[in-house]
A and B are shown apart, each in its own frame.
Chain A
Amino acid sequence: MPAKTAVAYRATGLSIWPERIKGSMFPLGLTLIVLGLVALPVVVLLFASFRPAGQLPFTGNTWTTATYAEVFGSASTYHLLKNTFLYAAGALAVSLPVAFILAWLTERTDLPGRRLLYTLMFVPMLMPSFAVALGWILLLGPNAGTINVFLRDLLALDTYRGPFNIYTMWGMVFVTGIIAVPSMWLLLLALFRNFDPRLEEAAATSGAGRWQVLKRVTVPLMLPGILAVLVYFTIIFIEVFEVPLAIGTTAEIPVLSVKIYLLTSRAEEGYHYGAAATFGLMTLVLGGLLMVGYLRAVRVSAKFAVVTGKGYRPRLVQLGQLKYLALAGVTVYFLVAVVLPTLILVWASLLRFYMPFSPDNFHLVSLHNYRLIFGREDFVTALQNTLITSCMAATVSMLLAAIIAWYLVRRPGLLARVLGIVSFMPLAIPNVIIALALLLLYTGTPVYGTLAIMILAFVTRYLAFTTRVMHAAQLQIDKVLEEAALVAGAGRVLTFVKINLHVLLPALLNGWLWVVAHAVRDFAVPLFLATSGTLLLANLIWGQWELGSMPMASAYIVVLIVIVVALVFIGRGHLGVGEEH
């Protein structure tokens, strides 16, 4: 009997590949794609770390290990690390409790106006971090900060400084914490949504009070997810640089991320890409250690799978009279995180030069900056580029993450572990280093000078986050649902689309919006990778800021916020992302 051809095999539904190899091809292919995205930039970092000061990674012939000796032999490195950990711990201490309470209030209680809150929470997320930092500098500057001036007048304080000073570690921690709350809230929201409320209801029926239910049922069951959030944000806080750059340099509190940024962008630091890469690798190792802890924590996560095919719709906790207290708390948060910094930026955008908010300065207000912006063709082009780049990046990133997450949860093993580690690695690499690595990597290729390189950068950059979101959500989906679909005759792809993507739609869409929001406000990627033909709004904002035109930069920021908030409103309305999911 003649051997069957490949076509014949395919026609009969058989495979020419042995089952063992066939089973490995999918994860291998997936791993290779993720490796291509992640490992190549790391290789660039390694190359760069062995280059002397003032030299780019793939140019020149000089190699040296002196950079490592310089970095690890300097006392300033350990000073930076200490500051960095204090800063990260402080920001976590501010953001986690606030985000947890807000997520619980929005997802599990009858808080009035919580539907509006779902959308409003995206507003601070859409604001560039450095803009929020700038807003708070204008509000809490020790001498002329609007709030300080107001308080000094109100309390008749006989001093020209204070009572608050933004230029402190507490100032940095405060601003970073409130900036992080919405992103953290979004992650915790996914946990709440996929958490079976019947367990809480059972505890309540057994006589446990609200606090006891929260302490003994809700928090313990959500612990792996909360731990993932903690790990994620610890690394984020280690690498975030806009706030430490805006506040920390004046406060004289250097941190690791700022050092990395300055090493790549300042003559006084000697354009030391090698040292920047070494610090980047150090961050990578720190992230790796945190990642190991994370993986150990979630190893037992199977027993926390609490969403099944039944009883999914949660019953809301009745707040009663406490709703007024809750509303007051939410209002205070929004005042601090959104309203005050936004108002001061709006105020700034209406001026031709910045002056403190005061009735005496109302005569300076005009729409001059907005007239200029809307008359510019480059603004329209930058806006289009920004939306295309962020939406494409979010779509590719979320789909890839959904596939990875499914594989990590459903096919545990060596390859899954490798895939998990590799997909988590971008989290540990500072934004500015990823951007620089991609720039050097894709120089001279057709990708450079197109929006594709920035989409690629954002997909790489946010892969860790999107994978964590989908992983956390996937962990809580019982595989019984998929098995039921398979038994009913659906193929694997159809099962994945109809069951996984459908059930995980809230997490998928929220993750998508998160990536859009973060890509829109990211500065490192466009600053390094945009060319004159592919400018994003971030480039225009940064350009005005560097030019010294704070009002124009503020006007761009306000326009950006209005447009994206409108999109999110419309998007959430059309996509049905709300409490009904």
Chain B
Amino acid sequence: MTAVRAVSTALALVWVTMWLASPAISGPGSEYLALLDAAKAEGKVAIGGFGFDPEEVTTLEKGFQKRFGFPVKIAHDPTHIRDIPPKVIAGGFDVVEVNVAGGYQILESERGLVTVDWSMFYPEFPKLEEVHHRRPAEDIPCLLYVNGIFGIVYNTKLVKEADLPETLEDFAEPKWKGRFVLWDNGNPFDFIAVKYGKERAIELARKLKTNKPILSRSAAILTLIASGEAHLGATSISTAMGEINKGAPLGVKPYRDIIPALNNQLCVVDKAPHPHMAKLFAAWHAAEGIHLIADVAGHYRALPDDENALTRFLTKWGKTVDDLTIFSDRAAWKLREEVTKAVAAILTGAK
């Protein structure tokens, strides 16, 4: 009898505990619900730093409506992330995507960003917790947003896959002289520095410079390769995959030894005109929205259990997201600054 009473009491205690805890584990909290109402009233989000095209904006707007039952009007400023620090400080954005090369440090020091308690979104967006925890440093108020990996992009009409280089060093081979294209801003030597050290990165830049690379900027590189102006190049695989989806004669291959990945930050702006929608959209986009456009846009938030074009690509080459080389902390950011400056000077011939 005593045993029965003890079991009954224990079960009752478990039930009461579960009942008391149930709001926290089975559904969103009141803070989240209040934010939802406020966001609904705001109805808009102004975002900067994303390279959305019209199709993607439409897809995201429809996806948001389906997910939450009310619409969002996305106004995005296509200004590149590297140009936005002053604009963010001035106000006018809700959400911005920045990276170490996009003036994050300026925004941080000028207090252009707000710290959000992302935990309120965890019940609604289970993946968000991991996204948040993967940020480069504890005190960063933003969400991880991997916005591209880098490797070898080539013209499939001019180069056979079997003839492709294996590493960035292989671009120094005579057969690629004057036929390969590099970014003029030091990418991906900054990643090389993170993995192998500054000296090796700079030495490699000098070595490749003697093989007469064609220098260009982000978007033009793919045009140069697809048109045949360059046979191949070291650039964004993610963006190239977007072009391949459209039918461009491009092929992609990762480096054998390193997979550079640009880990951007998705941040809510201090002077956001739609502060509630800003938080909701950022959380939803980082956890779910990105997947709606992942296979067409070249924006890939690569987490271990993701299933998208990027992870499929990595699997094909026997890699996983754990092989990505990212700028994992502030020391890496600082190193990147130093290396990109030095390498850009070497490549562009600046004295």
Contacts and interface: CB of A to CB of B under 8 A. Distances in A.
Interface of A: 54-56, 59-60, 74-76, 79, 134, 137-138, 141-145, 161, 167, 245-246, 249-250, 252, 254, 264-271, 352-356, 364, 372-373, 375-376, 378-379, 436, 439-440, 443-444, 448-449, 527-528, 530-533, 535, 539-540, 542-550, 552
Contacts of A528: 83, 86-87
A350 to B, nearest CB: 13
Counting chain B CB atoms within 10 Å of each CB, the highest count among A246, A448, A539, A548 belongs to A548
B25 interface: no
A270 B91 CA distance: 22
Given A439-B87, A547-B219, A249 B227 contact: no
Contacts of A142: 229
A372 B227 contact: no
27 contacts: A56-B85, A137-B220, A141-B224, A249-B348, A252-B348, A266-B185, A266-B344, A267-B82, A271-B103, A352-B248, A354-B248, A355-B226, A355-B249, A364-B247, A376-B57, A444-B90, A444-B91, A528-B87, A530-B79, A531-B87, A533-B92, A535-B77, A535-B78, A545-B219, A546-B218, A547-B53, A550-B219
A567 B345 CA distance: 45
Contacts of B106: 54-56, 271
A535 B248 CA distance: 30
Interface in B55-108: 55, 57, 75-80, 82-83, 85-87, 89-93, 100-103, 105-106
B323 interface: no
Interface stretch (B4-12, B44-52, B284-292): B44-52
A59 B103 CA distance: 15
Given A249-B217, A250-B215, A533-B46, A448 B79 contact: no
B304 interface: no
A544 B92 contact: no
Given A548-B239, A548-B243, A354 B110 contact: no
B92 A546 contact: no
A546 B217 CA distance: 9
Nearest to B344: A268
A79 B349 CA distance: 11
Contacts of B249: 355
B351 interface: yes
A273 to B, nearest CB: 8
A141 B101 contact: no
Contacts of B42: none
Contacts of A54: 105-106, 109
B186 A252 contact: no
A540 B78 contact: yes
B227 A144 contact: yes
B46 A552 contact: no
Contacts of A355: 226-227, 248-249
B64 to A, nearest CB: 16
Contacts of B351: 74-76, 79
B62 to A, nearest CB: 14
Counting chain B CB atoms within 10 Å of each CB, the highest count among A268, A528, A547 belongs to A268
Contacts of A550: 219-220, 223
Nearest to B48: A532
A50 B146 CA distance: 36
B171 to A, nearest CB: 16
Contacts of A254: 348-350
Closest 10 CB pairs of A and B: A543-B78, A532-B46, A531-B92, A353-B248, A268-B340, A267-B101, A547-B51, A144-B228, A532-B75, A548-B219
